[in-house]
Amino acid sequence: MFICTNQKANDKPCCAKHNASEMVEHAKSLAKSLGLTKELKFRISSSGCLGQCAVGPVLVVYPEGEWHSYKTKEDIEQILLRIADKTLIKD
């Protein structure tokens, strides 16, 4: 998962203005607690501009190429929970 944390000058829209760096740390912590990092080797990285600034903040999940806009930590949680539900084998 790549989460854009790009900062643009002036008043141009960018993901950094939406606490994107904090969201990366939140996502990493949650992915670890859900078992995504250990079981699936799922990784979360900050990225430069992903070219979707107008609808940001944004992230993209690979290999699916699934794009998401988010607003809150809860949005990030919902995205990661869906990934965990789709991919992890439950007891």
The only residue of 19, 21, 49, 60 in contact with ligand FES, by rule CB under 6 A: 49
46 binds ligand FES (CB under 6 A): no
- CA distances 79 to 3, 7, 11, 74, Å, are 12, 23, 29, 9
Cα–Cα dist 40/27, whole Å:
15
50 binds ligand FES (CB under 6 A): yes
Closest CA to 71 of 56, 60, 49: 56
Q: How far is the CB of 79 from ligand FES (least distance, A)?
A: 16
The only residue of 21, 37, 52, 69 in contact with ligand FES, by rule CB under 6 A: 52
Write out the residues near ligand FES by the rule CB under 6 A: 4, 6, 14-15, 49-53, 56, 58
